[in-house]
Amino acid sequence: MDVDDYVDKINDKNLLVIVEGKKDRIALEGLGIKRILEINPSAWYKVIDLIDEKEVVILTDLDKEGKRLYSVLKDRLQRKGVKVNDKFRNFLFKTRLRQIEGINSYIKNENRKRNRY
């Protein structure tokens, strides 16, 4: 599977994608993801009660702070009975990408590499 496959599955299931900031939201909108919730990492607790979904995707950055935020969000949402779909995040974690806002550059570079061969 590639990024497009994950985007299609997220949109087909109408999943809410939670991101850390505006640049992340813009990058994912550029991929065609339809439902994105941009949160303030220092005020994440304010949105937990507002999320009324059966399943969500959390795409915080893959750096130390993003991992910490992901862990807290996942724990709190699961306590509410919300399923956290980790498939896209786990796929991205296996790449060299570390910031969600850079996903479009990552895809362009990967496409260039493929086209060279």
Residue 105, CA distances (Å) to 24, 46, 49 in order: 12, 31, 34
Question: What are phi and psi for residue 36, nearest 5 degrees?
Answer: -130, 135
Task: Tell me the CATH architecture of domain 3-116.
Answer: 3-Layer(aba) Sandwich (3.40)
Per-chain mean pLDDT for the chain: 91
pLDDT, one tens digit per residue, over 43-86 is 888 889 889 999 999 999 989 999 999 999 999 999 999 999 99
Helices (H), 1-117: 3-12, 22-31, 45-48, 64-79, 87-93, 103-116
Quote the pTM value.
0.90
| Residue 102 exposed, middle or buried by CB count within 10 Å (0-12, 13-18, 19+) | middle
Q: Would you list the domain boundaries of the chain?
A: 3-116
